[in-house]
Amino acid sequence: MAETYLLEMNDIEKQFPGVKALDHAKLKLRAGTVHALMGENGAGKSTLMKCLFGIYKADVGQVIIDGKETNFTGPKNALDNGVAMVHQELNQVLKRSVMENIWLGRFPKKYGLIDHRLMYNKTKEVFDELDIPVDPRTIIGKLSVSQRQMVEIAKAVSYNAKILVLDEPTSSLTQEEVEHLFVIINKLRNRGVAMVYISHKMEEILRISNEVTIMRDGQWIATEKAADLTTDKIIKLMVGRDLTHRFPPKTNVPGDVVLDVQNLTGKYMPSCKDVSFQLKKGEILGVAGLVGSRRTELLETIFGIAHHESGKIIKDGKVVNNKDSRTAIKNGFAMLTEERRATGIFGGMSITFNSVIANIEKYKKMLFLSNGKMNSDTKWVIDSMRVKTPSYRTAIRSLSGGNQQKVILGRWLLTKPDILLLDEPTRGIDVGAKYEIYQLIINLANEGKSVIVVSSEMPELLGICDRIMVMSNGRLSGILNIEDATQEEIMRLAAQYI
Amino acid sequence: MEETKKILNRNWKEFLLDYALYFILGLMIIGVVIADHSFLSLNNMLKILAQASTRGILALGVAGMIVLAGTDLSAGRILGCGAAVSASLLQSVTYASRMYPNILEPINMLIPLMLSIFVCTFFCIINGFGVAKLHMHAFIISLGTQLIAYGVLCLYIDSQKGGAQPIASLDSRYIDFVNGKIGGVFPYLIIYAAICAAIMWVVWNKTTLGKNMFAIGGNKEAAAVSGVNVEKNIMGVYIVAGILYGIASFLEAGRVQSVTTATGLNYDLDAISGCVIGGVSFSGGVGTIPGILIGVVILQVINYSLYYLGVNAYLQYIIKGLIIILAVAIDVRKYIAKK
């Protein structure tokens, strides 16, 4: 069957140190269609798109647009050639006007000066055509996320984009806003624009898309007509994989309740809303949810980095008020943050420094810090966490991600916490090191510590947790016992309040 | 109901905090006027504006760097160098110990103006190169340039035949050009500053350079992705600043009629304070020309009124310091992400 594709990505391979991010990935896009790209977090969707835009260079494979092999050098180069992307995190100059953001880098001019009237008219023209009710002169930071997203789509249209990638466009939109977005998408489809639609939301995808490509572990799994698919079918294609031997045996036995969180609501939205749950001694509680479900905010609110508006945290029968992280540490909490490089490690500092920093008050001897005690604690961290490092004085950034994570986990254990809050503890860590981290978490639970693990990798939660709570749009949509938990059920709950 | 009340309450407090600086400055000025009614006379006001003129032009240049999320600590010393060049070439030809005894006929004033602009732009290009190409922080590169410019200024002044002495006894044409008044009332200086401000308004609002400057200061990544040549535009902003410094130095030399090694000392800090009071944000990407003018004038009003009221000179420093801290504290809290 001779079919013409506007975009063909064939056999794309991309290797990162320790991971094969893409392995014979492919995508074929027809003009005037919406093509959904699906897969779990980490399945390689974004990497594939980055290869399209030239942000990454594929090791193997070709990108063919309109029959010609293409190699973009970057997003701007792609944009000039009619290939645009609307990112989930919108990259805009928030303090400037809508039209300036659209025409940045190619302002219309008259006599050498910027022609504001022409810029306004051209913007208005695109907005009218797409039915976007926004004044081009508004400061873009004052718009809602959905309006800003529409501005970004309008920008792509103003470049006459023929291929448009929408990355999780509806993740922070209300139902009405989604409807409006779909009207715009349909208009673009009728104009012959080809769209790649990346999303986790099954119903939306089945509604809006013509075709669906599913990826898993960097590989192409299937491309089907949307009309032939059902939600169940998609989930099976997305998650079907072998789980044996990826996790250490579970040996911990949960005891009595140690932590009781009641109706916790963050002060500055978006954050967690009205979340209540209990945590037992020696229990590993997983927190699942889609990107933007406010799992990190929940941990931050418990740990006192984020303020709470209402709700109570009861530990060992007593109400604790974690008004900041220092108080939380004193109250026996510890938190491993999601962005290891930004908020976890002190990159240029030694293993010793990184091990003792959260506990530094304990090493005071008169006015000064006791080196002996700090070194013996560092030794404990290196030994018990099995950190592979040439010496105590090595700068932590020269270790692998897994070893960095072990040091930080050790850092928190030195504060003698009862409750550990772990946010994506295995992110960016290779498979072997992941197993070690899982083993450490289970060992901690064995010792009677209680652990809350936020993770975007569902198999990981299913592999190590006793219970899994699912968040959806800031709210708790359900808590599953591990025996009842399936990926399908978690997915269903994760989409409950969207 | 309860919710709305809470939000309104919060907004009211936020409003008070956001504009606290202007309330305090307003009260101060009212206090001065009550203490001495003559403060409000037309003559006094024009005097203040004239004094603010050269600082204003300098601030227009510095503001560009702050919008780029940088700063310029060297502006004052660069101005000193420019002023020395202008003054030395425009000393009265009848003054025996003038720096250039070979100048026997008064030269065209355009020549020293151009040379001052050239010298100032040269220093700004060093700063711009450091920021744009070497990716240094503007604070550090301009700290270095400040010392270099000061050294150059001292060497230049020291190179006079009679040794280090103020470059004074300037040509009367020059003094008239700078300090003259329309009808003996309205200082030319205010007009020069107004022209510079008007041109800068066009540059900031109507040219690609201006728009790109805001984009780079607001979100460098977004600007680069949109195809803005970040390095070139940063250099452009610094060159424009150099031209403004040059004009300001030419006028300042004529205004004070004597250039020494201390000329320009702390002018950069005054210019930065003026910008910050006028709402140019240190986090970059925010600022307006009218805001800068208001900031510079307010600062000059405070300077002048403290002086007018006979406040102890050392105390004046303390008060100015507090005002700058307050201005920045208020500015910063507008952009803190609340958790």
The pLDDT of A419-441, averaged and rounded, is: 84
Alpha-carbon span B179 to B176, nearest angstrom: 5
- Kindly state the percentage of chain A with pLDDT values over 70: 96
Instruction: Inform me whether the pLDDT recorded for B28 exceeds 70.
Output: yes
Instruction: Inform me whether the pLDDT recorded for B1 exceeds 70.
Output: no
| Per-residue model confidence as pLDDT tens digits over A137-176 | 999 988 888 889 889 999 988 998 999 999 888 876 777 8
State the pLDDT confidence band at B5, using cuts at 50, 70 and 90.
Answer: low
Instruction: Inform me whether the pLDDT recorded for A498 exceeds 80.
Output: no
In A398-466, the DSSP E strands lie at: 419-423, 450-454
Residues of chain A with Cβ-Cβ distance to B3 below 8 Å are none
In A388-472, the DSSP E strands lie at: 419-423, 450-454, 467-472
Which of B204, B208, B219, B226 best tests the A interface by mutation, with the highest count of A CBs <10 A? B226
pLDDT of residue A371: 86
pLDDT of residue B2: 57
The pLDDT of A27-34, averaged and rounded, is: 93
A and B: number of Cβ contacts within 8 A = 74
State the pLDDT confidence band at A243, using cuts at 50, 70 and 90.
Answer: very low
| Average pLDDT of every residue of chain A | 88
pTM: 0.78
Is some CB atom of chain B closer than 8 A to the CB atom of A110?
A: no
The pLDDT of B229-247, averaged and rounded, is: 96
Alpha-carbon span A404 to A397, nearest angstrom: 7
Residues of chain B with Cβ-Cβ distance to A105 below 8 Å are 212, 223, 226-228
Residues of chain A with Cβ-Cβ distance to B200 below 8 Å are none
The pLDDT of A475-479, averaged and rounded, is: 94
How many alpha carbons lie under 13 Å from residue B259 in its C-beta half-sphere? 34
In Å, how far are A126, B76, B83, B111, B115 from B57, measured between CA atoms?
40, 12, 14, 20, 17
| Per-residue model confidence as pLDDT tens digits over A286-339 | 999 887 789 999 999 999 999 999 999 999 999 999 998 889 999 999 999 888
Least reliable range by pLDDT among A400-404, B185-189, B203-207:
A400-404
DSSP output for A139-193: BGGGS-HHHHHHHHHHHHHHTT-SEEEEESTTTT--HHHHHHHHHHHHHHHHTT-
The pLDDT of A470-484, averaged and rounded, is: 93
Residues of chain A with Cβ-Cβ distance to B285 below 8 Å are 93, 95-96
pLDDT of residue A18: 62
| Average pLDDT of every residue of chain B | 90
Minimum CA–CA partner of B226 in chain A: A105
Instruction: Inform me whether the pLDDT recorded for A2 exceeds 50.
Output: no
- C-beta separation of A347 from A324 below 8 A: no
pLDDT of residue B181: 94
State the pLDDT confidence band at B4, using cuts at 50, 70 and 90.
Answer: low
Contacts 24+ apart (CB under 8 A), A205-209: A205/A36, A205/A38, A205/A234, A206/A230, A206/A231, A207/A182, A208/A34, A208/A36, A208/A182, A209/A33, A209/A34, A209/A35, A209/A36
**Taking CA A480 as the corner, what is the angle to CA A479 and CA A485, rounded to the nearest 5 degrees?**
150
Binary contact (B225, A267; C-beta < 8 A): no
- C-beta separation of A86 from A164 below 8 A: yes
* Structure-model confidence comparison of residues B57 and B39, the more confident one: B57
Q: Given the DSSP bridges, would you call strands A34-38 and A211-216 parallel, antiparallel or unpaired?
A: parallel
Closest by alpha carbon to B52, among B232, B284, B270? Answer: B270
Is some CB atom of chain B closer than 8 A to the CB atom of A305?
A: yes
Q: Which amino acid is at A248?
A: P
Alpha-carbon span A272 to A476, nearest angstrom: 8
Instruction: Inform me whether the pLDDT recorded for A244 exceeds 70.
Output: no
The pLDDT of A193-198, averaged and rounded, is: 94
Which of B2, B6, B209, B219 best tests the A interface by mutation, with the highest count of A CBs <10 A? B219
Query: Could you say which of A104, A109, A113 has the minimum Cβ distance to residue B226?
Result: A104
pLDDT of residue A488: 85
In Å, how far are A263, B276, B338 from A269, measured between CA atoms?
15, 30, 9
Minimum CA–CA partner of A304 in chain B: B339
Q: Which two tokens stand for residue B103?
A: 């100048």
Binary contact (A93, B219; C-beta < 8 A): yes
State the pLDDT confidence band at B288, using cuts at 50, 70 and 90.
Answer: very high
Minimum CA–CA partner of A91 in chain B: B222
* Structure-model confidence comparison of residues A391 and B138, the more confident one: B138
Q: Which residues of A72-101 are buried (b: 16+ CB within 10 A; e: fewer)?
A: beebbebbebbbbbbbeeebbbbbbbbbbb
Is some CB atom of chain B closer than 8 A to the CB atom of A330?
A: no
User: What is the number of other CB atoms lying within 10 angstroms of the CB of residue A29?
Assistant: 22
The complex scores an ipTM of 0.77
Closest by alpha carbon to A185, among A176, A177, A195? Answer: A195
In chain B, the DSSP E strands lie at: 181-182, 186-187
Residues of chain A with Cβ-Cβ distance to B228 below 8 Å are 104-105
pLDDT of residue A236: 79
State the pLDDT confidence band at A412, using cuts at 50, 70 and 90.
Answer: very high
Minimum CA–CA partner of A104 in chain B: B226
State the pLDDT confidence band at A1, using cuts at 50, 70 and 90.
Answer: very low
Query: Could you say which of A95, A96, A114 has the minimum Cβ distance to residue B206?
Result: A114
The H or E element spanning position A211 is strand A211-216
Residues of chain A with Cβ-Cβ distance to B7 below 8 Å are none
* Structure-model confidence comparison of residues B62 and B278, the more confident one: B62
- C-beta separation of A457 from A41 below 8 A: yes
- Kindly state the percentage of chain A with pLDDT values over 90: 49
| Per-residue model confidence as pLDDT tens digits over B144-202 | 999 999 999 999 999 998 888 999 999 999 999 999 999 989 999 999 999 999 999 99
The pLDDT of A452-472, averaged and rounded, is: 91
The pLDDT of A401-417, averaged and rounded, is: 90
| Per-residue model confidence as pLDDT tens digits over B289-323 | 999 998 999 889 888 888 888 889 899 889 888 88
Set out the domains of chain B in order of their start, with CATH numbers: 41-338 (1.10.3470)
